Structure 1
Amino acid sequence: MTLKPADLLRVRQLPLLEAAQADTFARLCRSAFLQRFPRGAQLTAEGESNDFLYVLLEGAVELEGTWNDRDSTLALLKPLSTFVLASVILDAPALMTARTIMRSQVLMIPGETFRQAVREDSGLSFAVAEELSGCYSGVVRALKNYKLRGALERLANYLLAQQTRQGGGATLKLPCQKRVLASLLGMTPENLSRAFASLGPYGVKVDGALVTLTRPAILARLAKPDALIDNHATLDSEPAGQATRERRRCERIAAHLV
């Protein structure tokens, strides 16, 4: 499907592509094509090479990892976001399977064309370095979250993060099924149910997909948000320079993750 002017404007707003020179951006778009996928379509397969860089324009995509007949949801992506960037840059097998979880529209940029553009366009190459650095920081944050916290603290911080992303109101809506949420937090569905029940004394009330935080200050005491782990936390003093850019990059990436 040919890119329409409105699509071009949206793609140009991506942090990854906004720094590219005009001729580089035009060349990438000429070689790219727009595709609509139904729910449940597999876009990439773990262990296989990727011929395309993917840009999610509409819908939602689940990133999943597997090992020894086990599987786990690693992230849920929302528009506008790119995925399999590292695999494309390295021309290496994908470490995750990407699958649509609703009807989605995806821009597909040929991998070799993108790699050539990165070699030739310094603005694009720096944007790629920033994007990958932000992703690396996100992985370190997630690793610290899993290694240093128990299930209750992980769930509490997730709820506080969602509250912030959804405007700060007392009631928030879980953006995915509880089964998927359990996998994202490194828990079983049964452990997630018990964790929600254990958070009752901290003011957490659950009604289906709706969660009300009646005592957020008490919940925050349990969660102990840390700006070096959580994007919803803040540092006592604002970092400067490159640290600020890294933090904002992480926040932009996190805004497209559930």
Structure 2
Amino acid sequence: MQPEYKAIARQSLLFSSMPEEDSEMLLANAHVTEYDRGQTIFLQGEKATAIFIVVSGWAKLYRIAPSGTEAVVGVFTQGRSFGEALAFRGDVYPVSAEAVTSLKLMRIEADDYLRRIRETPEAAISLLASTFRHLHSLVGQIEALKARTSAQRVAEFLCELSNAEEGPCEVVLPYDKILIAGRLGMKPESLSRAFARLKTEGVQIKQNLAKIEDIEHLRVYCEEDPAQAWTR
């Protein structure tokens, strides 16, 4: 395991509060696998036996409804983990996972982590923290669907991708627009309309690049009352 991969894993919530000795033992047995864009990581219905941490790239979790429609549950990038709770229950995955870009993924066997939990409470605390973050993220997605316009959801997505605190900035869209639409709970045509709506808020989209005139203004727009956002 390369030192930089271990450093990324230790920054994740799954390991950030764990003693170094425990994390070192777990990471010693972990391994990193490379995936091409579009390659399957696991399928809905497979037995969950491992935890995954994204080393580089993007991965998506999605579920196929009986109608055949794909619903994007989550999209994860460097330092984010997934698969924790189900792996520890020995359950099956209720979703599928796929690489949406070139991807490096760290795999940690659930049995190895369970052994550390039995030996040290800090490992359990790390697991709870990671599970809480996933739950908090899902609650945030539901809140956005219920309480924000499509344009506000897209604006928040762009703000999350930006490291700028104020002024103009550029954001590279990390994956294709169809996936962005699925991640934000809208159809591709609704995403196109949202991009058009954001022009009045100083956002220009050219292929996979978003040019933002004032990131602070865009953050304020995200928090506006939806009724006001619709009428502006």
TM-score category (smaller protein):
0.7 to 0.9
Partner in structure 1 of residue 173 of structure 2: 174
- Contact 1:88 1:115 (8 Å CA) reproduced: no
Distance 1:122 1:57 in 2: 26
1:81 maps to 2:80: yes
Q: Which residue of 2 aligns with 1:237?
A: none
- Is 2:57 the partner of 1:36? no
Shift of 1:133: 1.3
For 2:191, the equivalent position in structure 1 comes to 192
Q: Residue 150 of structure 1 corresponds to which residue in structure 2? A: 149
CA contact (8 A) 2:100 2:175 kept: no
In the aligned structure 2, how far is the partner of 1:214 from the partner of 1:26?
A: 44
Please name the residue that 1:119 is paired with: 118
Partner of 1:90: 89
Structure 2 CA distance, aligned partners of 1:184 and 1:122?
A: 35
Distance 2:57 2:219 in 1: 32
- Conserved in 2, the CA contact under 8 Å of 1:157 and 1:225? no
| Paired AA for residue 43 in structure 1 | I
State whether residues 20 and 121 of structure 1, in contact with CA within 8 Å, keep that contact through their aligned partners in structure 2. Answer: no
Deviations 1:7-65 (A, max 9, x none): 33443343322433444334323432332233322112122221111122123212212
Q: What residue number does 2:201 align with?
A: 202
C-alpha distance 205-37 of structure 1, shift in aligned 2 (>3 A):
closer
How many angstroms does 1:160 deviate by? Answer: 3.1
TM-score normalised to the size of structure 1?
0.75
> Partners in 1 of 2:41 and 2:106 — Cα distance?
11
Using the TM superposition, give the Cα deviation of residue 221 of structure 1 relative to its aligned residue in structure 2, in angstroms: 5.2
Task: Give the drift of 1:219.
Answer: 4.5
Quote the residue 1:251 is aligned against: none
Structure-2 residue corresponding to 1:252: none
Q: CA deviation at 1:214?
A: 3.0
Whole-Å separation in 1 of the counterparts to 2:214 and 2:104: 39
1:222, distance to aligned residue in structure 2 (A): 4.1
TM-score calculated relative to the size of structure 2: 0.83
- Percent sequence identity is 20
SS in 1 for 2:194: helix
Name structure 1 gaps, 5 residues minimum.
227-258
1:255 corresponding residue in structure 2:
none
**Aligned partners of 2:195 and 2:17: how far apart in 1?**
43
Cα distance in 2 for partners of 1:10, 1:159 equals 23
TM-fit CA distance, 1:123 = 0.9
Number of equivalences = 223
Q: Evaluate the alpha carbon distance shift between residue 80 and residue 157 of structure 1 in structure 2; reply closer, same or farther with a 3 A threshold.
A: closer
Query: What is aligned with 2:228?
Result: none
Shift of 1:145: 0.7
Amino acid at match of 1:32: A
Identify if the C-alpha distance between structure 1 residues 8 and 137 changes in structure 2 by more than 3 Å, giving closer, same or farther: closer
The offset of 1:153, in angstroms, is: 2.2
The answer to whether the 8 A contact 2:57-2:101 is kept is yes
Q: Once structures 1 and 2 are overlaid, which stretch shifts more, 139-148 or 6-15?
A: 6-15
